[in-house]
């Protein structure tokens, strides 16, 4: 539950925990499938320190929340990229909006039976739509985060449970009720992306999928906007310690990310090999000012974008 709140940006840090936990290497968990069965030793008491030094005082470091084991503690900046095997799409009906009217937008998915879980940021134009309600289905209230609702962003994260309802292509997983503030088509104002919670899904084969919405059965490739470049706002922002810069690439290729101050002085430069789909770069605050406004720029073949971020003490 705590990890889901972090993913949904409801919480910004792990409560009642630390970033790393250290377990004595010699400790044997009595129930390996339940590491919280009893308190595990995180200290070693040494009396009368021997002149020959300390031996057999080893710890194993465990990164809290590192579900896919990709944390690299010896790296100040690192990139994460995964091969996209396809696109998980929400199927929506496109409608013509009239200002003042309310519309219930049902989210179904033709491939839901083959998906183990998904997460994404649902983005809507705040000038065109007002969220009135979220109607539960297979996806429940706790699967949504509304921290960034004022920005037109709804975070969502869901995983299949063994005792959950039978999933079918025509069943509404959930519905969003909007009040239209202007006229136009719904497809102009509603999309799925990675602005806060990165868009990703996993099928029953463990393959990584992009997440998109499609209207009236449009092709999945079009719905996914596979040929787009996009630089996302870093999260958290403001930040201390480290922050994540996400970006989307239409194809594999070299990428340069530059962090600079307001005068244009380069503070950090990272070159990396990006992959098609969603990527993220974790930037450590080492070498950066203690506080202030910074700029970060993404450069790749045919595309450049810059955003601001704030570092605090």
Question: Which residues, 6+ apart, have CB-to-CB distance to 114 below 8 Å?
Answer: 203, 204
Whether 165 has a pLDDT exceeding 80, the answer reads no
Q: Is there a shared CATH topology between the 87-223 domain and the 228-311 domain?
A: yes
pLDDT digits (tens, 9 = 90+) for 97-128: 999 999 999 999 988 888 889 999 998 888 88
Q: Residue 53, Cβ neighbours under 10 Å: how many?
A: 7
88 against 47, higher pLDDT? 88
28 against 132, higher pLDDT? 132
Q: Residue 55, Cβ neighbours under 10 Å: how many?
A: 7
DSSP symbols for 115-178: EEEEEEEEEE-TTTEEEEEEEESSS-GGGEE-TTGGGTEEEEEEE--TTSPPP-TTS-SEEEEE
Whether 132 has a pLDDT exceeding 70, the answer reads yes
Whether 210 has a pLDDT exceeding 80, the answer reads yes
Whether 207 has a pLDDT exceeding 60, the answer reads yes
Domain boundaries, the chain: 87-223, 228-311
**DSSP 8-state class, residue 149:** G
Whether 169 has a pLDDT exceeding 90, the answer reads no
d(C-alpha 2, C-alpha 10), whole Å? 9
200 against 51, higher pLDDT? 200
CB 282 within 8 A of CB 78: yes
Question: Nearest-CA neighbor of 192 among 218, 220, 211?
Answer: 211
Whether 77 has a pLDDT exceeding 50, the answer reads no
- Between strands 208-215 and 200-203, the pairing is antiparallel
CB 13 within 8 A of CB 2: no
Residue range 228-311 forms a domain whose CATH class is mainly beta
Question: What pTM was computed for the model?
Answer: 0.56
Whether 255 has a pLDDT exceeding 90, the answer reads yes
CB 181 within 8 A of CB 98: no
Q: How confident is the model at residue 306 (pLDDT cuts 50, 70, 90)?
A: very high
Q: How confident is the model at residue 234 (pLDDT cuts 50, 70, 90)?
A: confident
121 burial type by CB count under 10 A (0-12 exposed, 13-18 middle, 19+ buried): buried
Among 61-75, 99-113, 257-271, 274-288, the minimum mean pLDDT is found in: 61-75
Q: What is the pLDDT of residue 65?
A: 60
| Greatest alpha-carbon span in the chain | 82
Among 137-141, 143-147, 214-218, the minimum mean pLDDT is found in: 214-218
φ, ψ for residue 7, nearest 5 deg: -60, -40
d(C-alpha 20, C-alpha 64), whole Å? 6
User: Tokens for 218?
Assistant: 């449009």
Whether 5 has a pLDDT exceeding 90, the answer reads no
**CATH architecture for residues 87-223:** Sandwich (2.60)
> Is 187 strand, coil or helix?
helix
Q: What is the pLDDT of residue 1?
A: 44
Q: How confident is the model at residue 7 (pLDDT cuts 50, 70, 90)?
A: low
């Amino acid at each position: 539950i705590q990890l889901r709140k972090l993913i949904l940006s409801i919480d910004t840090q792990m409560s009642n925990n630390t970033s790393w936990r250290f377990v004595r290497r010699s400790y044997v968990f009595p129930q390996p499938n339940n590491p919280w069965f009893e308190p595990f030793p995180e200290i070693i008491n040494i009396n009368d320190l021997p002149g020959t030094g300390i031996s057999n005082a080893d710890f194993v470091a465990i990164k809290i929340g590192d579900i896919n084991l990709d944390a690299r503690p010896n790296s100040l900046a690192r990139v994460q990229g995964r091969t996209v095997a396809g696109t998980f799409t929400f199927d929506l009906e496109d409608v013509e909006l009239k200002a003042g009217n309310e519309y219930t937008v049902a989210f179904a998915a033709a491939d839901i039976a083959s998906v183990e879980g998904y997460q994404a940021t649902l983005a809507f134009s705040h000038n065109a739509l007002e969220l009135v309600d979220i109607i539960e289905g297979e996806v429940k209230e706790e699967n949504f985060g509304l921290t960034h609702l004022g920005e037109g962003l709804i975070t969502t994260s869901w995983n299949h449970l063994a005792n959950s309802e039978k999933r079918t292509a025509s069943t509404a997983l959930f519905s969003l009720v909007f009040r239209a503030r202007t006229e136009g088509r719904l497809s102009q104002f509603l999309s799925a992306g990675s602005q806060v919670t990165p868009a990703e899904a996993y099928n029953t084969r463990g393959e990584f999928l992009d997440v998109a919405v499609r209207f009236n059965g449009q092709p999945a490739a079009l719905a996914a906007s596979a040929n787009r470049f996009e630089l996302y706002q870093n999260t958290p922002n403001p930040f201390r310690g480290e922050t994540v810069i996400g970006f989307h690439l239409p194809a594999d290729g070299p990428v340069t990310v530059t962090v600079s101050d307001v005068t244009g002085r380069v503070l950090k430069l990272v070159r990396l090999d990006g992959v098609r789909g969603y990527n993220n770069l974790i930037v450590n605050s080492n070498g950066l000012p203690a506080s202030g406004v910074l700029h970060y720029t993404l450069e790749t073949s045919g595309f450049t974008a810059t955003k601001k971020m704030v570092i605090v003490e």
